[in-house]
Structure 1
Amino acid sequence: MTKRPLILVTNDDGISAPGIRRLIGIMNKIGEVVVVAPDRAQSGMGHAITLNSTLYAEEVFIDDGPQKEFSCSGTPADCVKIAIREILDRQPDLCVSGINHGSNSSINVIYSGTMSAAIEAGLEGIPAIGFSLLDYSWNANFEGCDNFVKTITENVLKNGIPQGIVLNVNLPNLPKADIKGIKVCRQAKANWVEEFDKRKTPQGKDYYWLTGKFVNLDGGEDTDEWALENGYVSVVPTQFDLTAHHFIKDLNTWNLND
Protein backbone atom coordinates (compact mmCIF):
# COMPACT_ATOMS: atom_id res chain seq x y z
CA MET A 1 0.00 0.00 0.00
CA THR A 2 1.36 3.45 -0.96
CA LYS A 3 2.00 5.68 2.03
CA ARG A 4 -0.10 8.83 2.01
CA PRO A 5 1.88 12.10 1.90
CA LEU A 6 2.27 14.00 5.15
CA ILE A 7 0.78 17.48 4.73
CA LEU A 8 1.35 20.35 7.15
CA VAL A 9 -1.52 22.86 7.14
CA THR A 10 -1.25 26.37 8.58
CA ASN A 11 -2.57 29.90 7.98
CA ASP A 12 -2.58 33.45 9.33
CA ASP A 13 -6.29 33.97 10.02
CA GLY A 14 -6.28 31.64 13.01
CA ILE A 15 -6.99 27.95 13.46
CA SER A 16 -10.77 28.40 13.62
CA ALA A 17 -11.07 30.49 10.45
CA PRO A 18 -13.42 29.07 7.78
CA GLY A 19 -10.66 29.23 5.17
CA ILE A 20 -8.32 26.85 6.98
CA ARG A 21 -11.20 24.55 7.89
CA ARG A 22 -12.00 24.27 4.17
CA LEU A 23 -8.35 23.64 3.33
CA ILE A 24 -8.10 20.92 5.96
CA GLY A 25 -11.08 19.14 4.43
CA ILE A 26 -9.50 19.20 0.97
CA MET A 27 -6.13 17.98 2.26
CA ASN A 28 -7.72 15.11 4.19
CA LYS A 29 -8.69 13.64 0.82
CA ILE A 30 -5.08 13.78 -0.37
CA GLY A 31 -2.85 12.86 2.55
CA GLU A 32 -2.18 12.54 6.25
CA VAL A 33 -2.81 15.98 7.74
CA VAL A 34 -1.27 17.76 10.71
CA VAL A 35 -2.45 21.29 11.44
CA VAL A 36 -0.32 23.82 13.32
CA ALA A 37 -1.92 27.25 13.12
CA PRO A 38 -2.11 30.47 15.14
CA ASP A 39 -4.55 30.62 18.03
CA ARG A 40 -5.74 34.03 16.80
CA ALA A 41 -5.67 36.20 13.69
CA GLN A 42 -2.13 37.06 12.56
CA SER A 43 -2.83 38.78 9.25
CA GLY A 44 -0.18 41.19 7.99
CA MET A 45 2.51 39.72 10.24
CA GLY A 46 4.80 38.96 7.31
CA HIS A 47 7.74 36.78 8.36
CA ALA A 48 7.78 37.88 12.00
CA ILE A 49 8.93 35.31 14.57
CA THR A 50 8.61 35.23 18.35
CA LEU A 51 11.88 36.02 20.17
CA ASN A 52 11.08 37.89 23.37
CA SER A 53 8.16 35.96 24.80
CA THR A 54 7.18 32.36 25.46
CA LEU A 55 5.67 30.22 22.73
CA TYR A 56 2.91 27.67 23.27
CA ALA A 57 1.51 24.87 21.11
CA GLU A 58 -1.50 22.99 22.44
CA GLU A 59 -3.30 20.07 20.84
CA VAL A 60 -6.93 20.94 20.12
CA PHE A 61 -9.98 19.07 18.82
CA ILE A 62 -12.06 21.36 16.64
CA ASP A 63 -13.83 18.76 14.52
CA ASP A 64 -13.82 15.01 13.91
CA GLY A 65 -10.55 14.88 12.01
CA PRO A 66 -8.85 12.59 11.07
CA GLN A 67 -6.19 15.32 11.24
CA LYS A 68 -4.17 16.17 14.32
CA GLU A 69 -4.34 19.85 15.26
CA PHE A 70 -2.23 22.20 17.35
CA SER A 71 -3.07 25.78 18.26
CA CYS A 72 0.06 27.92 18.50
CA SER A 73 0.47 31.24 20.31
CA GLY A 74 2.99 32.48 17.74
CA THR A 75 3.07 33.85 14.22
CA PRO A 76 2.52 31.83 11.03
CA ALA A 77 6.29 31.43 10.60
CA ASP A 78 6.52 30.27 14.23
CA CYS A 79 3.86 27.65 13.50
CA VAL A 80 5.94 26.10 10.73
CA LYS A 81 9.12 26.21 12.81
CA ILE A 82 7.58 24.52 15.83
CA ALA A 83 5.77 21.98 13.66
CA ILE A 84 9.01 20.86 12.05
CA ARG A 85 11.17 20.93 15.20
CA GLU A 86 8.77 19.75 17.90
CA ILE A 87 5.50 18.30 16.65
CA LEU A 88 6.07 16.25 13.50
CA ASP A 89 7.98 12.98 13.63
CA ARG A 90 9.23 13.35 10.06
CA GLN A 91 9.67 16.02 7.41
CA PRO A 92 6.32 16.79 5.73
CA ASP A 93 5.97 16.10 2.03
CA LEU A 94 4.08 19.37 1.59
CA CYS A 95 3.07 22.51 3.47
CA VAL A 96 -0.10 24.36 2.49
CA SER A 97 -1.06 27.71 3.99
CA GLY A 98 -4.50 29.33 3.86
CA ILE A 99 -7.05 29.50 2.49
CA ASN A 100 -6.52 33.17 3.28
CA HIS A 101 -9.48 35.51 3.66
CA GLY A 102 -8.35 38.15 1.15
CA SER A 103 -5.86 38.76 -1.62
CA ASN A 104 -2.16 37.96 -1.45
CA SER A 105 -1.48 38.90 -5.06
CA SER A 106 1.16 41.36 -6.22
CA ILE A 107 2.88 43.40 -3.46
CA ASN A 108 0.60 41.88 -0.81
CA VAL A 109 2.93 38.87 -0.76
CA ILE A 110 5.46 40.98 1.19
CA TYR A 111 3.10 41.56 4.11
CA SER A 112 1.32 38.22 4.09
CA GLY A 113 1.52 35.88 7.04
CA THR A 114 -0.05 33.21 4.85
CA MET A 115 2.75 33.38 2.32
CA SER A 116 5.44 33.79 4.98
CA ALA A 117 4.38 30.46 6.49
CA ALA A 118 4.73 28.85 3.06
CA ILE A 119 8.11 30.54 2.56
CA GLU A 120 9.30 29.31 5.96
CA ALA A 121 8.50 25.77 4.85
CA GLY A 122 10.31 26.41 1.58
CA LEU A 123 13.39 27.52 3.51
CA GLU A 124 13.37 24.07 5.11
CA GLY A 125 13.27 22.38 1.71
CA ILE A 126 9.58 21.50 1.93
CA PRO A 127 7.40 22.06 -1.17
CA ALA A 128 4.90 24.74 -0.17
CA ILE A 129 1.83 26.57 -1.46
CA GLY A 130 -0.03 29.60 -0.17
CA PHE A 131 -3.73 29.77 -1.10
CA SER A 132 -5.84 32.94 -0.91
CA LEU A 133 -9.40 33.87 -1.89
CA LEU A 134 -10.20 37.44 -2.90
CA ASP A 135 -12.84 37.86 -0.20
CA TYR A 136 -11.90 39.43 3.15
CA SER A 137 -15.18 38.47 4.82
CA TRP A 138 -15.10 35.97 7.68
CA ASN A 139 -18.15 34.41 6.02
CA ALA A 140 -16.45 34.10 2.62
CA ASN A 141 -17.73 31.29 0.40
CA PHE A 142 -14.88 28.85 -0.23
CA GLU A 143 -16.94 26.23 -2.08
CA GLY A 144 -15.54 27.21 -5.48
CA CYS A 145 -11.96 26.68 -4.31
CA ASP A 146 -12.01 22.91 -3.84
CA ASN A 147 -11.17 21.59 -7.30
CA PHE A 148 -8.54 24.24 -8.01
CA VAL A 149 -6.81 23.73 -4.66
CA LYS A 150 -6.89 19.96 -5.14
CA THR A 151 -5.55 20.13 -8.70
CA ILE A 152 -2.65 22.42 -7.81
CA THR A 153 -1.79 20.41 -4.69
CA GLU A 154 -1.76 17.10 -6.53
CA ASN A 155 0.44 18.56 -9.26
CA VAL A 156 2.95 19.80 -6.70
CA LEU A 157 3.07 16.38 -5.04
CA LYS A 158 3.52 14.71 -8.43
CA ASN A 159 5.98 17.12 -10.06
CA GLY A 160 7.73 18.76 -7.11
CA ILE A 161 8.95 22.36 -6.82
CA PRO A 162 12.58 23.46 -7.25
CA GLN A 163 14.47 24.39 -4.09
CA GLY A 164 13.97 28.05 -3.21
CA ILE A 165 10.52 28.42 -4.79
CA VAL A 166 7.01 28.35 -3.33
CA LEU A 167 3.71 28.84 -5.13
CA ASN A 168 1.49 31.86 -4.46
CA VAL A 169 -2.05 30.93 -5.52
CA ASN A 170 -4.91 33.45 -5.55
CA LEU A 171 -8.49 32.59 -6.41
CA PRO A 172 -11.01 35.13 -7.72
CA ASN A 173 -14.17 35.66 -5.69
CA LEU A 174 -16.46 34.12 -8.30
CA PRO A 175 -18.81 31.16 -8.51
CA LYS A 176 -16.98 28.04 -9.62
CA ALA A 177 -18.79 28.02 -12.98
CA ASP A 178 -17.52 31.54 -13.76
CA ILE A 179 -13.83 30.81 -13.13
CA LYS A 180 -12.16 30.33 -16.51
CA GLY A 181 -9.21 28.23 -15.36
CA ILE A 182 -5.71 28.51 -13.95
CA LYS A 183 -2.99 30.85 -15.26
CA VAL A 184 0.69 30.77 -14.41
CA CYS A 185 1.69 34.41 -13.94
CA ARG A 186 4.29 36.84 -12.75
CA GLN A 187 3.74 39.17 -9.81
CA ALA A 188 2.22 42.45 -10.95
CA LYS A 189 3.99 45.73 -10.23
CA ALA A 190 1.56 47.41 -7.87
CA ASN A 191 1.57 49.31 -4.60
CA TRP A 192 -0.53 50.62 -1.78
CA VAL A 193 -0.99 54.39 -1.61
CA GLU A 194 -1.27 54.65 2.15
CA GLU A 195 -2.60 57.24 4.53
CA PHE A 196 -3.11 57.42 8.27
CA ASP A 197 -6.46 58.44 9.69
CA LYS A 198 -5.43 60.51 12.69
CA ARG A 199 -7.83 60.66 15.62
CA LYS A 200 -7.80 61.52 19.32
CA THR A 201 -8.73 59.49 22.36
CA PRO A 202 -11.13 61.02 24.91
CA GLN A 203 -8.00 61.89 26.88
CA GLY A 204 -6.62 63.90 23.94
CA LYS A 205 -3.90 61.47 22.86
CA ASP A 206 -3.33 61.02 19.13
CA TYR A 207 -3.84 57.61 17.55
CA TYR A 208 -3.87 56.36 13.95
CA TRP A 209 -5.71 53.93 11.66
CA LEU A 210 -3.81 52.80 8.58
CA THR A 211 -5.86 53.23 5.41
CA GLY A 212 -4.96 53.10 1.75
CA LYS A 213 -5.81 52.32 -1.82
CA PHE A 214 -4.34 49.51 -3.90
CA VAL A 215 -2.98 50.77 -7.23
CA ASN A 216 -2.03 48.42 -10.06
CA LEU A 217 0.83 50.04 -11.99
CA ASP A 218 1.24 47.12 -14.39
CA GLY A 219 -0.55 46.89 -17.74
CA GLY A 220 0.79 43.43 -18.59
CA GLU A 221 -1.57 40.58 -19.39
CA ASP A 222 0.78 38.00 -17.87
CA THR A 223 0.36 39.19 -14.27
CA ASP A 224 -1.56 37.85 -11.31
CA GLU A 225 -3.68 41.01 -11.17
CA TRP A 226 -4.72 40.65 -14.81
CA ALA A 227 -5.57 36.98 -14.32
CA LEU A 228 -7.71 37.65 -11.27
CA GLU A 229 -9.50 40.60 -12.86
CA ASN A 230 -10.32 38.40 -15.84
CA GLY A 231 -11.69 35.42 -13.95
CA TYR A 232 -8.65 33.15 -13.64
CA VAL A 233 -6.90 31.54 -10.70
CA SER A 234 -3.36 32.97 -10.59
CA VAL A 235 -0.30 30.88 -9.77
CA VAL A 236 2.95 32.79 -9.23
CA PRO A 237 6.20 30.91 -8.54
CA THR A 238 7.73 33.00 -5.76
CA GLN A 239 11.36 32.90 -4.65
CA PHE A 240 12.70 33.90 -1.28
CA ASP A 241 16.15 34.78 -2.59
CA LEU A 242 15.77 38.57 -2.67
CA THR A 243 19.10 39.18 -4.40
CA ALA A 244 18.81 41.52 -7.41
CA HIS A 245 21.13 39.34 -9.49
CA HIS A 246 20.86 41.58 -12.55
CA PHE A 247 22.41 44.51 -10.62
CA ILE A 248 25.47 42.70 -9.28
CA LYS A 249 27.57 43.41 -12.38
CA ASP A 250 26.77 47.15 -12.29
CA LEU A 251 27.32 47.34 -8.54
CA ASN A 252 30.79 45.85 -8.99
CA THR A 253 31.74 48.87 -11.13
CA TRP A 254 31.34 51.23 -8.15
CA ASN A 255 34.44 52.43 -6.30
CA LEU A 256 33.40 50.85 -3.02
CA ASN A 257 36.92 50.09 -1.74
CA ASP A 258 38.54 53.50 -2.39
Structure 2
Amino acid sequence: MAKAKRKKKEPIILVTNDDGVMAPGIRNLVEAVKGLGKIVVVAPDKPQSGMGHAITIGSPLRLQQVQLAEGTEAWSCSGTPVDCVKLAVDKILGQKPDICISGINHGPNHSINVIYSGTMSAAIEASIESIPSIGFSLLDYSMEADFTAARKYARIIVEAIMKRKADKHLCLNVNFPAVDESLVNGIKVCRQAYAKYEEDFDERKDPTGKKYYWLTGAFVNFDKGKDTDVWALANNYVSVVPVQFDLTNYVLKTKLEKTFKQ
Protein backbone atom coordinates (compact mmCIF):
# COMPACT_ATOMS: atom_id res chain seq x y z
CA MET A 1 0.00 0.00 0.00
CA ALA A 2 1.48 3.33 -1.02
CA LYS A 3 2.20 5.73 1.81
CA ALA A 4 0.16 8.89 1.85
CA LYS A 5 2.18 11.95 0.94
CA ARG A 6 2.84 14.25 3.89
CA LYS A 7 1.37 17.69 3.33
CA LYS A 8 4.10 20.26 2.90
CA LYS A 9 4.18 22.79 5.72
CA GLU A 10 3.23 26.30 4.62
CA PRO A 11 6.15 28.71 5.12
CA ILE A 12 5.62 31.63 7.47
CA ILE A 13 6.50 35.11 6.20
CA LEU A 14 6.93 37.80 8.86
CA VAL A 15 6.38 41.30 7.48
CA THR A 16 7.42 44.47 9.31
CA ASN A 17 8.59 48.02 8.59
CA ASP A 18 9.53 51.35 10.18
CA ASP A 19 6.96 53.66 8.53
CA GLY A 20 4.10 52.23 10.57
CA VAL A 21 1.58 49.44 10.12
CA MET A 22 -0.75 51.62 8.02
CA ALA A 23 1.89 52.91 5.59
CA PRO A 24 1.26 52.20 1.88
CA GLY A 25 4.69 50.55 1.60
CA ILE A 26 3.86 47.66 3.91
CA ARG A 27 0.52 47.08 2.18
CA ASN A 28 2.35 46.84 -1.14
CA LEU A 29 4.88 44.40 0.32
CA VAL A 30 2.08 42.17 1.61
CA GLU A 31 0.49 42.31 -1.84
CA ALA A 32 3.83 41.42 -3.45
CA VAL A 33 4.28 38.16 -1.52
CA LYS A 34 0.69 36.92 -1.44
CA GLY A 35 0.51 33.20 -2.13
CA LEU A 36 4.11 32.47 -1.11
CA GLY A 37 3.21 31.48 2.45
CA LYS A 38 1.28 32.43 5.57
CA ILE A 39 1.79 36.18 6.02
CA VAL A 40 1.88 37.69 9.49
CA VAL A 41 2.40 41.44 9.87
CA VAL A 42 3.86 42.97 13.04
CA ALA A 43 4.79 46.61 12.59
CA PRO A 44 5.06 49.83 14.61
CA ASP A 45 1.87 51.72 15.46
CA LYS A 46 3.52 54.96 14.31
CA PRO A 47 6.47 56.01 12.09
CA GLN A 48 9.85 54.91 13.47
CA SER A 49 12.21 56.09 10.72
CA GLY A 50 15.83 56.61 11.72
CA MET A 51 15.48 54.52 14.88
CA GLY A 52 18.36 52.28 13.90
CA HIS A 53 18.67 49.22 16.15
CA ALA A 54 16.89 50.79 19.12
CA ILE A 55 14.96 48.58 21.53
CA THR A 56 12.48 49.59 24.22
CA ILE A 57 13.75 49.29 27.79
CA GLY A 58 11.93 50.57 30.86
CA SER A 59 8.59 51.15 29.13
CA PRO A 60 5.73 48.72 28.49
CA LEU A 61 5.21 47.34 25.01
CA ARG A 62 1.72 46.84 23.65
CA LEU A 63 0.35 44.75 20.80
CA GLN A 64 -2.99 45.30 19.13
CA GLN A 65 -4.54 43.32 16.30
CA VAL A 66 -5.46 45.50 13.31
CA GLN A 67 -7.27 45.13 10.00
CA LEU A 68 -4.76 45.42 7.15
CA ALA A 69 -5.46 43.13 4.21
CA GLU A 70 -8.08 40.42 3.83
CA GLY A 71 -6.79 37.07 5.03
CA THR A 72 -3.65 38.57 6.60
CA GLU A 73 -3.03 38.49 10.34
CA ALA A 74 -1.73 41.91 11.36
CA TRP A 75 -0.60 43.51 14.61
CA SER A 76 0.52 46.99 15.60
CA CYS A 77 3.28 47.34 18.18
CA SER A 78 3.99 50.37 20.36
CA GLY A 79 7.75 49.79 20.10
CA THR A 80 10.53 50.03 17.53
CA PRO A 81 11.00 47.90 14.40
CA VAL A 82 13.43 45.69 16.32
CA ASP A 83 10.87 45.29 19.12
CA CYS A 84 8.36 44.18 16.46
CA VAL A 85 10.60 41.32 15.33
CA LYS A 86 11.35 40.21 18.89
CA LEU A 87 7.69 40.24 19.95
CA ALA A 88 6.54 38.58 16.73
CA VAL A 89 8.81 35.61 17.30
CA ASP A 90 8.24 35.30 21.06
CA LYS A 91 4.58 36.22 21.54
CA ILE A 92 2.67 36.07 18.25
CA LEU A 93 4.25 33.29 16.20
CA GLY A 94 5.77 31.34 19.08
CA GLN A 95 8.41 30.18 16.60
CA LYS A 96 10.82 31.55 14.05
CA PRO A 97 9.30 32.41 10.66
CA ASP A 98 10.86 31.04 7.50
CA ILE A 99 11.73 34.55 6.33
CA CYS A 100 11.37 38.12 7.59
CA ILE A 101 10.81 40.95 5.12
CA SER A 102 10.85 44.61 6.07
CA GLY A 103 9.47 47.60 4.14
CA ILE A 104 8.76 48.76 1.59
CA ASN A 105 10.35 51.88 3.04
CA HIS A 106 9.33 55.30 1.77
CA GLY A 107 12.77 56.69 0.87
CA PRO A 108 16.21 55.19 0.20
CA ASN A 109 18.27 53.00 2.51
CA HIS A 110 21.38 52.72 0.34
CA SER A 111 24.99 53.48 1.34
CA ILE A 112 25.51 54.63 4.94
CA ASN A 113 21.74 54.94 5.50
CA VAL A 114 21.72 51.26 6.43
CA ILE A 115 23.25 52.22 9.81
CA TYR A 116 20.36 54.52 10.76
CA SER A 117 17.51 52.67 9.08
CA GLY A 118 14.72 51.16 11.14
CA THR A 119 13.70 49.16 8.08
CA MET A 120 17.11 47.50 7.86
CA SER A 121 17.52 47.14 11.63
CA ALA A 122 14.38 44.99 11.71
CA ALA A 123 15.87 42.80 8.97
CA ILE A 124 19.23 42.64 10.74
CA GLU A 125 17.53 41.68 14.02
CA ALA A 126 15.87 38.78 12.22
CA SER A 127 19.25 37.78 10.81
CA ILE A 128 20.75 37.83 14.32
CA GLU A 129 17.96 35.44 15.34
CA SER A 130 18.88 33.06 12.49
CA ILE A 131 15.97 34.10 10.28
CA PRO A 132 16.82 34.88 6.62
CA SER A 133 15.72 38.45 6.00
CA ILE A 134 15.37 41.20 3.41
CA GLY A 135 14.84 44.93 3.78
CA PHE A 136 13.12 46.77 0.91
CA SER A 137 13.17 50.51 0.17
CA LEU A 138 11.88 52.70 -2.65
CA LEU A 139 13.64 55.93 -3.61
CA ASP A 140 10.44 57.93 -3.17
CA TYR A 141 9.34 59.54 0.10
CA SER A 142 5.81 60.23 -1.10
CA MET A 143 2.88 58.41 0.47
CA GLU A 144 1.42 58.39 -3.07
CA ALA A 145 4.52 56.71 -4.56
CA ASP A 146 4.07 54.21 -7.40
CA PHE A 147 5.03 50.76 -6.04
CA THR A 148 4.28 48.81 -9.22
CA ALA A 149 7.91 47.96 -10.07
CA ALA A 150 8.80 47.50 -6.41
CA ARG A 151 6.06 44.90 -5.97
CA LYS A 152 7.21 42.99 -9.05
CA TYR A 153 10.87 42.83 -8.05
CA ALA A 154 10.18 42.26 -4.35
CA ARG A 155 8.27 39.11 -5.28
CA ILE A 156 11.04 37.94 -7.63
CA ILE A 157 13.66 38.37 -4.90
CA VAL A 158 11.62 36.83 -2.06
CA GLU A 159 10.61 33.87 -4.23
CA ALA A 160 14.22 33.25 -5.27
CA ILE A 161 15.44 33.27 -1.65
CA MET A 162 12.62 31.03 -0.43
CA LYS A 163 13.28 28.48 -3.19
CA ARG A 164 16.91 27.97 -2.21
CA LYS A 165 18.31 26.82 1.12
CA ALA A 166 19.26 30.24 2.41
CA ASP A 167 21.97 30.87 4.96
CA LYS A 168 20.12 31.37 8.26
CA HIS A 169 21.96 34.69 8.75
CA LEU A 170 21.26 35.92 5.20
CA CYS A 171 20.31 39.60 5.15
CA LEU A 172 19.79 41.61 1.98
CA ASN A 173 19.40 45.36 1.61
CA VAL A 174 17.27 45.96 -1.48
CA ASN A 175 16.54 49.40 -2.96
CA PHE A 176 14.25 50.19 -5.89
CA PRO A 177 14.75 53.16 -8.24
CA ALA A 178 11.74 55.48 -8.42
CA VAL A 179 11.04 54.95 -12.12
CA ASP A 180 8.34 53.35 -14.22
CA GLU A 181 8.49 49.53 -14.34
CA SER A 182 9.41 49.67 -18.05
CA LEU A 183 12.56 51.65 -17.23
CA VAL A 184 14.00 49.24 -14.65
CA ASN A 185 17.09 47.55 -16.12
CA GLY A 186 17.00 44.53 -13.81
CA ILE A 187 18.64 43.43 -10.56
CA LYS A 188 22.26 44.15 -9.69
CA VAL A 189 24.10 42.65 -6.71
CA CYS A 190 26.31 45.42 -5.34
CA ARG A 191 28.49 46.58 -2.51
CA GLN A 192 27.51 49.41 -0.21
CA ALA A 193 28.74 52.79 -1.47
CA TYR A 194 30.68 55.20 0.70
CA ALA A 195 28.13 57.98 0.47
CA LYS A 196 26.47 59.97 3.22
CA TYR A 197 24.74 63.17 4.21
CA GLU A 198 27.02 66.13 4.84
CA GLU A 199 25.00 67.37 7.76
CA ASP A 200 24.37 70.84 9.08
CA PHE A 201 22.28 72.07 11.98
CA ASP A 202 20.19 75.09 11.13
CA GLU A 203 19.98 77.33 14.20
CA ARG A 204 16.52 78.80 14.75
CA LYS A 205 14.51 80.48 17.50
CA ASP A 206 11.15 79.46 18.91
CA PRO A 207 8.39 82.03 19.67
CA THR A 208 9.88 82.63 23.13
CA GLY A 209 13.29 83.48 21.66
CA LYS A 210 15.00 80.26 22.76
CA LYS A 211 17.39 78.57 20.33
CA TYR A 212 16.71 75.22 18.75
CA TYR A 213 18.38 73.27 15.95
CA TRP A 214 16.99 71.60 12.83
CA LEU A 215 19.01 68.90 11.09
CA THR A 216 19.62 69.65 7.41
CA GLY A 217 22.20 68.54 4.87
CA ALA A 218 22.94 67.30 1.38
CA PHE A 219 23.66 63.77 0.18
CA VAL A 220 27.22 63.37 -1.13
CA ASN A 221 28.59 60.31 -2.94
CA PHE A 222 32.33 59.90 -2.30
CA ASP A 223 32.43 56.54 -4.08
CA LYS A 224 32.81 56.58 -7.87
CA GLY A 225 32.77 52.80 -8.28
CA LYS A 226 30.37 51.21 -10.75
CA ASP A 227 29.71 48.25 -8.46
CA THR A 228 27.88 50.17 -5.72
CA ASP A 229 24.24 50.47 -4.75
CA VAL A 230 24.26 54.22 -5.44
CA TRP A 231 25.57 53.67 -8.98
CA ALA A 232 23.08 50.87 -9.65
CA LEU A 233 20.12 52.96 -8.55
CA ALA A 234 21.29 55.98 -10.55
CA ASN A 235 21.30 53.68 -13.58
CA ASN A 236 17.81 52.30 -12.91
CA TYR A 237 18.80 48.92 -11.47
CA VAL A 238 17.32 47.33 -8.38
CA SER A 239 20.28 47.20 -5.98
CA VAL A 240 20.84 44.15 -3.77
CA VAL A 241 23.53 44.43 -1.08
CA PRO A 242 24.25 41.45 1.20
CA VAL A 243 24.83 42.85 4.71
CA GLN A 244 25.84 41.34 8.04
CA PHE A 245 25.67 42.13 11.74
CA ASP A 246 29.31 41.13 12.33
CA LEU A 247 31.07 44.53 12.21
CA THR A 248 34.56 43.11 12.68
CA ASN A 249 37.15 44.62 10.32
CA TYR A 250 39.06 41.41 9.57
CA VAL A 251 41.79 43.11 7.50
CA LEU A 252 42.56 45.50 10.35
CA LYS A 253 42.31 42.65 12.87
CA THR A 254 45.13 40.81 11.06
CA LYS A 255 47.29 43.94 11.05
CA LEU A 256 46.66 44.64 14.73
CA GLU A 257 47.52 41.06 15.66
CA LYS A 258 50.97 41.66 14.17
CA THR A 259 51.26 45.04 15.90
CA PHE A 260 50.39 43.65 19.32
CA LYS A 261 52.04 40.29 18.92
CA GLN A 262 53.20 38.97 22.30
Q: What band does the TM-score fall into relative to the shorter chain?
A: over 0.9
SS of residue in 2 equivalent to 1:239: coil
1:156 aligned onto 2:156: no
* Alpha-carbon separation, structure 2, partners of 1:235 and 1:20: 19
1:137 aligned onto 2:142: yes
SS of residue in 2 equivalent to 1:135: coil
SS of residue in 1 equivalent to 2:114: helix
SS of residue in 1 equivalent to 2:258: coil
Counterpart amino acid of residue 30 in structure 2? I
* Alpha-carbon separation, structure 2, partners of 1:193 and 1:91: 39
Conserved 8 A contact 1:190-1:214? yes
Conserved 8 A contact 1:95-1:129? yes
Give the structure 1 partner of residue 3 of structure 2: none
* 1:256 Cα offset (Å): 9.0
Range that drifts further, 89-98 or 37-46: 89-98
Conserved 8 A contact 1:182-1:234? yes
Cα deviation 1:207-243 (Å, max 9, x = unaligned): 1111111111111111111100001000000011000
Give the structure 2 partner of residue 83 of structure 1: 88
Structure 1 runs (4+) deviating above 3 angstroms are 253-257
* 1:50 Cα offset (Å): 0.2
Conserved 8 A contact 2:100-2:134? yes
SS of residue in 2 equivalent to 1:226: helix
* 1:254 Cα offset (Å): 3.7
SS of residue in 2 equivalent to 1:252: helix
Conserved 8 A contact 2:132-2:169? no
Give the structure 1 partner of residue 208 of structure 2: 203
Structure 2: 5+ residue stretches without partners: 1-6
Conserved 8 A contact 1:165-1:240? no
Cα deviation 1:148-198 (Å, max 9, x = unaligned): 111100111012432433000000000000001000000011121000111
Counterpart amino acid of residue 139 in structure 1? E
Range that drifts further, 28-37 or 127-136: 28-37
2:113 aligned residue (94, 103, 108): 108
TM-score of the aligned structures, taking structure 2 as reference length: 0.94
Q: Against the structure 1 CA distance between its residues 161 and 106, is the aligned structure 2 distance closer, same or farther, given a 3 Å change threshold?
A: farther
Give the structure 1 partner of residue 101 of structure 2: 96
Give the structure 2 partner of residue 174 of structure 1: 179
* Alpha-carbon separation, structure 2, partners of 1:59 and 1:173: 32
Conserved 8 A contact 1:28-1:67? no
2:40 aligned residue (13, 24, 34): 34
Identity %: 56
TM-score of the aligned structures, taking structure 1 as reference length: 0.96
* 1:250 Cα offset (Å): 1.6
SS of residue in 2 equivalent to 1:210: strand
Conserved 8 A contact 2:131-2:170? no
